[in-house]
């Protein structure tokens, strides 16, 4: 690829991805336009900084089942036909429920959304009633306070019904097609998930006929284009903040670990960090890049089984750091959860494409001085919707993946209003707590 001009690579690879990400749907006659209407896709250039915060493994209902005005549920169906009430639970849930492609298929059950009890329960048994729970709103008060003051999306769907590896790829590339007929699914056979994986590491694939090819895919050092290519072409600065990972799982865990041009190029040391805490340093020293992704330490990620409940406070600390800085008037902060984590959700995906999507609903928060106030967006989005907003914001062009069909999240903003005065988000743990917190040195997810 090094001998091919970048524009040509983007054109060829983008067209290839488009075939897979936007191919004919399983349901004949499906029309994406009725799910992704064209609305306010081109924002004015008031947004000079975008920060995408990627948390872990929570369905929309698990966090916002009872949020006023949102499409939530307090009961769900099980595979035996029974309806069970969702139990109010702690954020610090002890088990990591299954959330692979097969779990997605079991949970979805042809659109009936009643198979969550059949997935792996994290303790060696079927999950049973465990997925049918929602977090006590008092324990995630910062999320609810942000939703009340800014924007909560209750129709954000994963781009693929799979786990964290592909979800994080979707948030930088919009899809995981490696050729015109196959897309990556689930996670590589060994860690770290990327170019530093041990020799012989394989990936799994989905064909356009949704046939699962277990460990039949390539080594996870990939060459498809990402937002990085579009940003670099327009000389827009970017940075990817990711926590350090040590031990047998490898040196690092992040999406760009699997992108060959970044992992083996100069940007690996200049644009990719091994500490999520550095974003506070960059904000204080006025070094925030135009485009930032932030992957928090496992302890602060909301991941089930991490024996921690600091995730909501970590988001509040970031929002407050930006809100109290000179960046506030020009920044959009987008908080999203990468997959459903095995937890129940009541809303079936609006359609199925030939790449294993759409996946289940996750929550999205949009924080900006131009965000609509206390707005619950019912507009159908997917991860490509975030990419499309970024692309439109800087007139980057498009990758040709799910960003083509997706509706931009631009309608979460009202650019006719003057920038709102920032009001700090109250939280249990302060910014200082996170700046001095010892890293867990553990991967953010293993599925």
Report the pLDDT value the prediction gives residue 395, as an integer from 0 to 100.
96
pLDDT digits (tens, 9 = 90+) for 118-151: 999 877 789 999 999 999 999 999 999 999 999 9
Percentages (nearest 5) of helix, strand, coil residues in the chain: 30, 15, 55
The answer to the question of residue 440 being in a domain is no
> Is residue 446 assigned to a domain?
no
Number of structural domains the chain divides into: 1
Please state the rounded mean pLDDT for residues 158-187. 96
Measured between alpha carbons, how far is residue 150 from residues 258, 336, 370, 374 in Å? 34, 14, 9, 5
**Length of the chain, please?**
447
User: Is the pLDDT assigned to residue 30 strictly greater than 50?
Assistant: no
**Eight-class DSSP state of 116:** G
User: What CATH number does residue 186 fall under?
Assistant: 3.40.720.10
In a domain, 1, yes or no: no
- pLDDT of res. 246: 61
Q: Are 253 and 276 in contact (CB under 8 A)?
A: no
pLDDT score at 367: 98
The Cα 276–Cα 244 span in angstroms is 8
Q: Quick one: which of 134, 105, 133 has its CA closest to 118? A: 105
Determine the pLDDT at residue 121. 85
How many CB atoms are closer than 10 A to CB 441? 13
Q: Summarize the confidence of residues 10-30 as an average pLDDT.
A: 38
pLDDT per position as a tens digit, 392-433: 999 999 999 999 999 999 999 999 989 999 999 999 999 999
Please give the pLDDT value at position 447: 61
Which of 386, 363, 364, 406 has the alpha carbon at shortest distance from 21? 406
Instruction: Give the three-class secondary structure for 134.
Output: strand
Residue 171 domain flag: yes
Gap between the Cα atoms of 117 and 370, Å rounded: 41
CA nearest neighbour of 63 among 133, 119, 158: 133
- Say which residues have a Cβ less than 8 Å from residue 26's Cβ, sequence separation at least 6: 210, 352, 353, 354
Whether 30 maps to a domain, the answer reads no
Range of 301's domain? 6-25+44-435
* pLDDT at position 446: 66
Beta-carbon neighbour count of residue 254 at 10 Å? 27
Q: What is the mean pLDDT of residues 106-115?
A: 96
Asked if residue 437 lies in contact with residue 56, where contact means CB atoms within 8 angstroms, the answer is: no
For residue 444, is it within any domain?
no
436 burial via Cβ count (<10 Å: 0-12, 13-18, 19+): exposed
Residues β-bridged to residue 182: 207
Closest CA to 174 of 10, 16, 382: 382
| Residue labelled with tokens 């007139």 | 395
pLDDT digits (tens, 9 = 90+) for 347-374: 999 999 988 999 999 999 999 999 999 9
State the pairing for strand pair 49-55/331-337: parallel
Say what the pTM is. Answer: 0.91
Radius of gyration of the chain, Cα coordinates, nearest whole angstrom: 20
How many other CB atoms sit within 10 Å of the CB of residue 124? 6
In a domain, 37, yes or no: no
């Amino acid at each position: 690829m090094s001998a091919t001009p970048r524009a040509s690579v983007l054109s060829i690879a983008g067209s290839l991805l488009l075939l897979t990400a936007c191919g004919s749907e399983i349901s004949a006659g499906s029309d994406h336009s009725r799910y992704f209407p064209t609305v306010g896709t081109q924002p004015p250039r008031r947004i000079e900084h975008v920060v995408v915060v990627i948390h872990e493994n929570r369905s929309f209902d698990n966090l916002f089942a009872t949020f006023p005005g949102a499409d939530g549920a307090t009961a769900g169906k099980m595979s035996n036909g029974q309806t069970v009430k969702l139990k109010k639970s702690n954020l610090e849930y002890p088990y990591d429920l299954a959330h692979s492609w097969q779990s997605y298929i079991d949970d979805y059950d042809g659109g009936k959304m009643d198979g969550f009890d059949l997935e792996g329960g994290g303790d060696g048994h079927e999950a049973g009633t465990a997925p049918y729970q929602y977090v006590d709103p008092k324990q995630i008060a910062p999320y609810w306070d942000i939703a009340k003051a800014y924007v909560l999306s209750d129709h954000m769907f994963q781009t693929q019904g799979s786990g964290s590896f592909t979800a994080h790829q979707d948030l930088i590339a919009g899809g995981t097609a490696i050729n015109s007929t196959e897309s990556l699914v689930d996670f590589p056979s060994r860690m770290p998930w990327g170019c530093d994986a041990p020799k012989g590491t394989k990936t799994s694939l989905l064909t356009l006929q949704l046939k699962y090819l277990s460990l039949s895919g390539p080594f996870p050092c990939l060459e498809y284009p990402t937002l990085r290519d579009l940003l670099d072409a327009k000389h827009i600065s970017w940075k990817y903040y990711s926590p350090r990972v040590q031990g047998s799982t490898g040196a690092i865990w992040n999406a760009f670990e699997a992108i060959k041009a970044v992992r083996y190029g100069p940007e690996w040391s200049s644009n990719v960090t091994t500490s999520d805490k550095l974003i506070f340093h960059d904000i204080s020293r006025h070094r925030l890049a135009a485009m930032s992704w932030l992957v928090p330490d496992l302890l602060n990620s909301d991941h089930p089984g991490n024996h921690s409940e600091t995730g909501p406070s970590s988001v509040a600390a970031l929002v407050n750091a930006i809100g109290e800085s000179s960046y506030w008037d020009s920044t959009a902060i987008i908080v999203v959860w990468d997959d459903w984590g095995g937890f129940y959700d009541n809303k079936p995906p609006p359609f199925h494409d030939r790449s294993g999507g759409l996946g289940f609903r996750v929550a999205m928060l949009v924080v900006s001085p131009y965000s609509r106030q206390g707005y619950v967006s019912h507009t159908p989005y997917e991860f490509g919707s975030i990419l499309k907003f970024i692309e439109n914001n800087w007139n980057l062009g498009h990758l040709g993946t799910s960003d083509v069909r997706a509706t931009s999240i631009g309608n979460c903003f009202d650019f006719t209003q003057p920038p709102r005065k920032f009001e700090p988000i109250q939280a249990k743990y302060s910014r200082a707590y996170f700046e001095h917190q010892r890293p867990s040195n553990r991967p953010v997810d293993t599925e």
